[in-house]
Amino acid sequence: MRTRTGSGRPARAVVFDLDGTLVDSLDLVANGYIDTVEAFGGPRITRDQLEDAWHLGPTPVMMEHFLGRPAPDAVDHFLQRVRAGSGALALFPGIAVMAAELDAAGIRLGIVTNATRANAEVVLAATGIASLLPVVVCAGERAPKPSPDGLLAVLSDLDTQPGESVYVGDSWVDLACAGSAGVRGVHATWAQPGGCQLGSEHECVRTVDALHALLLGCLRSTP
């Protein structure tokens, strides 16, 4: 059984962004950045400024961008703050069921995130989703999104071609990454109150249930 890609070819893999797509972690991560930058002598940045900088990559790069200097102490402070708040992290409702059904249907699953490995491991451990999505590529290991490098690396590990794959994310960097990789992109908007604003070339889903229907509703037996 396989999900259909936009080209009509059966999908063999679904890859996800992490924060804001699988896990309700955007507030924790954003507040961690905002408070850490200010605590280490930087400006009081806004959520919009932070979101505009997601494409820069992992935490060390982001901190240097906002502080104007390399700041490993600030990176450590940020990670400690995320760890301290990780007990409140949770998957968005319906994600665990959807991932389990995809896995049971033989769909290969992975994650590409612009978070560091250390940060991603905190989030994955807190939510227990790692066992269903064993292939994870983080910023610092490949060029950050919107580069397609991380997504293509995951697909290689999953032994899957771009035309047989779907990438689900909540921001423009995710959809740009999917487009550059030749992968069908799906815009997940349940964490973003602004909704679907990233162009009509990508499908938009406003709820996890809608994504579940998109990915599983067209499963069929292959010849």
When the pLDDT of each residue in the chain is averaged and rounded to a whole number, the result is 89
Task: Tell me: pLDDT of 123 over 70.
Answer: yes
Average pLDDT of the residues in 98-120: 94
| Given the residues 17, 19, 170, 174, the one annotated as active site | 17
pLDDT tens per residue across span 6-56: 555 567 899 999 999 999 999 999 999 999 999 999 999 999 999 889 889
CA distances from 159 to 12, 109, 155, 203 (A): 9, 11, 6, 25
For strands 10-11 and 3-4, give the pairing: antiparallel
Average pLDDT of the residues in 130-154: 94
Please name the residue that has the structure tokens 């996890």.
208
Provide the pLDDT for residue 5.
54
Identify the CATH number of the domain defined by range 3-25+90-216: 3.40.50.1000
Residue 17 annotated in active site: yes
Q: How far is residue 14's CA from residue 2's CA, in Å, rounded to a whole number?
A: 11
Which letter does DSSP use for residue 122 in this model?
H
Whether 201 contacts 6, CB under 8 Å: no
Q: How far is residue 160's CA from residue 92's CA, in Å, rounded to a whole number?
A: 27
* Domain residue spans of the chain: 3-25+90-216, 26-88
> Residue 104: CB partners within 8 Å, gap ≥ 6?
none
The amino acid at residue 178 is: A
